[in-house]
Amino acid sequence: MSVGLWDAAVIAAKTITYAATLGAAGAVFFLKVCGALIASMATSRIRYLVLCMALLSVFGGAAQILASAASMSGDAAGMLDGSLVGMVWQAGAGRANAIRALGLLLAALAVWSDRTSWLACLGAAAAATSFAWTGHARSLNPSVLPMLLLSLHLVGVAFWLGALAPLRLVARDGDLPRIAATAARFGAAAVFVVGALIVAGATLLWMLLGDPTALWASAYGRWVILKLALVAGILGLAAFNKLRLTPRLLAGDRRAVRGLRDTIRFELLLGGVILAVTATFTTMTGPPALY
């Protein structure tokens, strides 16, 4: 597999867009679920986080379109070629980016207006699921079920991975009862959400592979195995947080706060690698069921 400079740029922009969009959406979901438990200072920081991530997402999406045009032309001049950029925009990227930007705008406005409303969550969900409007799930025929499964998977990923940075902000404020209550509430909700995202992801994977042997017999399948191994790692860390650290936090053990901050840092790192791996194989390879 040969990756040129502009292909690498597409993958980098895609990774940033994934991380920023899911991060912004997840922070909104986090405020909805845990907002009543956290201090106003942390709430304010999380609102800034939503705003910064939303802006980064919009810039990342634009950079991905320009890098795709450069990848097709083979040089930077492609970014200035209006008809090439227009082709990328028309091939799904335009609609996905527009839905994402509108969703994030709605989410950011609603979050900053005061309490986190269902309107903010609707905007966050629209932004997180915008990736389903383009890509392999949309190419399956019929595409409605795969797109719904991918949307469910994306909302789940946003809820889980997007909550990590806000949770770490809460863990920094040093107020043990608040940290313990927030970690407990998030952990209780995450069990169902993560379960749903795994079921949706596994069903979609089955559709994209077409044949289980494609998991090891195709380049796409081998990338998926790498992703699943990384997901197993992050699930292990999440389980450690919920089953070991959260009970210690609830029991008033201050040392568990440092443990929580450290494991969240590793989860963030692993989450970033998972998104980069996903961006790489969805750009460079295609699922066997389609080709």
Partner 1 sequence: MAVTVAAGILAGPAFGHAKLLSTLPPADAQLQAAPKSLTLSFNENVRLAVLTLTAAGRTIPVTVDRSLPAAPQVSVSLPVLTPGKYQVQWSALSPDDGHVTKGTFSFVIVGSTAVPAGPAATFR
Binding site for partner 1 (CB under 8 A): 1-2, 10, 68, 71-74, 78, 83-84, 87-88, 90-93, 134-136, 138-139, 218-220, 222-223, 226, 281, 283-286, 291
Distance CA 17, CA 64 (A): 8
Closest contact distance (angstroms) between CB of 243 and partner 1 is 32
> 29 or 220, CB closer to partner 1?
220
What distance, in Å, lies between the first and last C-alpha atoms of the chain?
17
* Other Cβ atoms within 10 Å of 231 Cβ, number: 18
In the complex, minimum distance from the CB of residue 144 to partner 1, in angstroms, rounded to a whole number: 14
Measured from the CB of residue 15, what is the shortest distance to partner 1 in angstroms? Answer: 16
Q: Tokens for 82?
A: 């209006």
Minimum CB–partner distance for residue 101 and partner 1 (Å):
17
The smaller minimum CB distance to partner 1, of residues 45 and 227, is found at: 227
Nearest to partner 1 of 90, 213 (CB atom) = 90
Q: Shortest Cβ distance from residue 290 to partner 1 (Å)?
A: 8
- Residue 39 C-beta-side C-alpha neighbours within 13 Å: 15
- The residues, any chain, with a CB within 8 Å of residue 49's CB and separated by 6 or more, are 23, 24, 27, 165, 166, 169
Q: Which is nearer to partner 1, 55 or 72 (CB)?
A: 72
Q: Is residue 4 classed exposed, middle or buried when 0-12, 13-18 and 19+ CB atoms within 10 A define those classes?
A: exposed
Q: Pick the closer one to partner 1 by CB: 40 or 83.
A: 83
Say how far apart CA 180 and CA 257 lie, in whole Å.
9
| Interatomic CA distance for residues 189 and 224, integer angstroms | 27
- Give the 3-state secondary structure of residue 38: coil
Report, in Å, the least distance between residue 136 CB and partner 1.
6
**Cβ proximity to partner 1, 182 vs 283, nearer residue:** 283
